[in-house]
A and B are shown apart, each in its own frame.
Chain A
Amino acid sequence: MGAQGLTCRECHAEYPAEALYVCERCFGPLEVTYEVDAGLDVAERRRHIQAGPQNLWRYSDFLPLDAPPGPSSRTLSRTGLPAGCTPLIKADRLAERLGLREVWVKNDAANPTHSFKDRVVAVAAARARELGYDVLACASTGNLANAVAAQGAALGMETYVFIPADLEEQKILATGVYGTNLVKVRGSYDDVNRLCTEISGERDWAFVNVNVRPYYAEGSKTLAYEIAEQLGWRVPDRLVVPIASGSLYTKLAKGFQEWLDLGLAEGAPPVMNGAQALGCSPVACAWEAGHDVCQPVRPDTIAKSLAIGNPADGPYALDLARSSNGSIDAVTDDEIREGIRLLAETTGVFTETAGGVSTATLAKLAERGDIDPEERVVLLITGEGLKTIDAVRDTFDSFEIEPRLDAFVDEVEDVVAGARR
């Protein structure tokens, strides 16, 4: 496939594959369209992917870059900070706890800056360079800030990173260390986003999630390709995915559909379950009310990486939940903390609050009986627990003893044995 151009999702007006993101006619979002190369058969395509590098550039044929397929994926791998090829873990103990047969955890915290945002930024930055940009910028709830600052450092591009001033300290520190122009904005993420939309009209920069957003968003498809490849070229029955703007959620479905259409993956389009934090749940609220559009909200949740009150892809997320027989659920902050704990205790994966949201939502779906026990379910973990460390503070006890054997026996072993009785 090769990127053909951009098409408005609303009115289908067509545009060249440049740094454009909004339809001038109706203000709808622009999406990349591809020319499908019918020349390759399935076995040949699979071999081509398997011969590619151990990162997302093995899927460069399905990404919106001019660089031709083939050796170029190697070249891409040798510039910047390649992302992807993260573990898909079979989570039998989690499945057992939830009364399900087969659950897999896609641990996308295992990316260079510990979230799935490295994927979208790798694609956005590569396209920004092709389009001749020198400066990379973003509006971020934290994970994207890390990814843009790091990718800019790796590529030698100047970066401007805009974040809400009240972000978790870990995410601020893990951004500043890369030597970026870090701008803390006094306001919510939606205020940051509005400011960046304004600035992007006035500065000749590549804002990864504003003017080059159509390319950026395509990077999320690589998660779908990877899951399918890791499952032996099969699409899972169901995915549980956190929703902030709704971009990841909708692009995952697009990725699976592309491979089903090409015959590269077997199966049917998966049931798509979206997960939001109750304290910022514009899409889940619209879902429950049966609306086609989302009413913006003011976020108040510990899941700050999902705290987008005015989600750009909200209407499309609602369409997808409907068409895939899925749903969009919301969980409380306490359920998020329990979700983090449940995942950690049963899989050894420590996730940030967004992963707590998706895990808690999976637990909710299982309890509600929405999931057939025979289904193969993939739970998406998008970020690392060390970035939202406050969420687990004071949620467990520990022992503090003198360095003596009797102290260990009396104060630890006896207590542990007592707790078991």
Chain B
Amino acid sequence: MSVTVKIPTQLRSASGGEGEVGVEGATVGEALEGVFTRHGELRERLLEDGKLRRFVNVYVDGEDVRFLDGLQTPVPTGGEVTILPAVAGG
């Protein structure tokens, strides 16, 4: 199941400059694992003790995964996983 993971500018130094990565995965967690396989450095930037860091927001097709099932949230084929910093706004 192919999905697209969008990498924010702040993390592109760790993704070889790539802003989008196509990976296989049925859940957010699996999709991120797919990204980490290619860009290992991203793991510790995004996760702490296997969970999303508190200032990392992840969206599946625009919906915050904290409202869904977190890393277990399913991602449909062709879906989009967007990683964004959480410190904006207000």
Does any Cβ of B come within 8 Å of A347's Cβ? no
Binary contact readout A4-31 vs B (1 if CB under 8 angstroms, 0 otherwise) = 0000001000000000011011111100
Q: Are B88 and A21 in contact, with the CB atoms below 8 A?
A: yes
Contact A22 B53 (CB under 8 A): no
User: Which partner residue on chain A sits nearest B54 by CB separation?
Assistant: A293
Chain A positions 242-256 with a Cβ under 8 Å from a chain B Cβ: 244-248
Contacting residue for B85 out of A21, A295, A298, CB 8 A: A21
Total count of chain A residues near the partner, CB < 8 A: 39
| Residue of A10, A312, A315 ringed by the most chain B CB atoms within 10 A | A312
Within 8 Å CB of A310, what residues of B?
A: 57, 64, 66, 86, 89
Let me know if A92 is at the binding interface, CB within 8 A: no
Q: Is the CB of A139 within 8 A of B89?
A: yes
| A296 at the binding interface (Cβ < 8 Å) | yes
For A29, A194, A313, the residue with the greatest tally of chain B CB atoms inside 10 Å of its CB is A194
How far is the CB of A86 from the nearest CB of chain B, in Å? 20
The answer to whether B89 touches A245, judged by C-beta atoms less than 8 angstroms apart, is yes
Contacts of A139 in B (CB 8 A): 88-89
A141 to B59, CA, bound (A): 21
Q: Is the CB of B87 within 8 A of A27?
A: yes
Does A24 contact B89, Cβ atoms closer than 8 Å? no
Give residues 74-90 of B contacting A (CB, 8 Å). 82, 84-90
Instruction: Please name all residues of chain A whose beta carbon is closer than 8 Å to the beta carbon of B54 when the two chains form the complex.
Output: 293, 315
Cβ contact within 8 Å between A193 and B88: yes
Beta-carbon contact of B89 and A198 below 8 Å: no
Q: Quick check: is B62 within 8 A (CB to CB) of the other chain?
A: yes
Question: CA A317 – CA B62 in complex, angstroms?
Answer: 27
Contacts of B45 in A (CB 8 A): 24-27
* A246→B84 CA distance, assembly (Å): 19
In this complex, the member of B14, B66, B86, B88 whose beta carbon has the largest number of chain A beta carbons within 10 angstroms is: B88
Are B86 and A27 neighbours in the complex by a CB distance under 8 Å? yes
Whether A28 lies near B87 (C-beta < 8 A) is yes
Question: Are A190 and B90 in touch, CB under 8 angstroms?
Answer: no
Look across to chain B and name the residue whose beta carbon is closest to the beta carbon of A217.
Answer: B90
Q: Decide if A209 touches B8 in the complex (CB within 8 Å).
A: no
Q: Within the assembled complex, what's the spacing in Å between the Cα atoms of A329 and B2?
A: 45
> Binary interface profile of A, 315-345, with partner B (CB < 8 Å = 1, else 0)?
1000000000000000000000000000000
> In whole angstroms, what is the CA distance A200 to B87 when docked?
13
Interface of chain A residues 197 through 236 with chain B (CB within 8 A): 197-198, 200-201, 207, 209-210, 213
- Apart from A24-B13, A293-B54: 12 A-B pairs, beta carbons within 8 A: A26-B45, A27-B46, A27-B86, A194-B57, A194-B59, A197-B8, A197-B84, A198-B8, A210-B88, A310-B57, A312-B86, A313-B87
A-B contact pairs, 5 of them (CB 8 A): A21-B88, A24-B10, A193-B89, A194-B59, A197-B85
